[in-house]
Amino acid sequence: MKRPALVTVGLGAVSFGTYVLLRFLVPGGFEDSSILGIVSYNFGTIKDYKITYPPLLAFAVPATLGLIGWRFSDRFARACYAFSSVIGGILFLQSKFEEVRAEMPLLLLMLPAALSGLRKLIIKQAAVAA
């Protein structure tokens, strides 16, 4: 367990270091926007789109099914779902979040737990119908 943890920390340090180096070398980035500006933009689009907000349409059902299936999922599915939540938060802070095509990996990470939730709902519905 120690070796994978150390490798993970090392890879995280390398990726974060690369990000810091790029921010240092290109202070304004390739686009002129700060984290606060991006978050403000994202909340503005949520306000504008309301119920038709693209990430809501794309991820509401898998996220809900993932929450339902959390207790019934194995360790891998839980880790994938938790990782998708972390990555989703980072993407919300660092990108224009209404661009759902950039967030498709989140859907893949949510699917194992979502399928466990769907299986639980189907089994429950079959028991009620019988």
Residues 34-58 have a mean pLDDT of 92
Residues 112-125 have a mean pLDDT of 93
Residue 31: band (very low, low, confident or very high) from pLDDT cuts 50, 70, 90: low
Is residue 20 over pLDDT 90?
no
pTM, two decimal places: 0.72
Is residue 130 over pLDDT 80?
no
Buried b / exposed e along 2-18 (16+ C-beta atoms within 10 A): eeeeeeeeeeeeeeeee
SS3 state at 124: helix
pLDDT, position 70: 94
pLDDT, tens digit, 9 for 90 and up, residues 60-81: 999 999 999 999 999 999 999 9
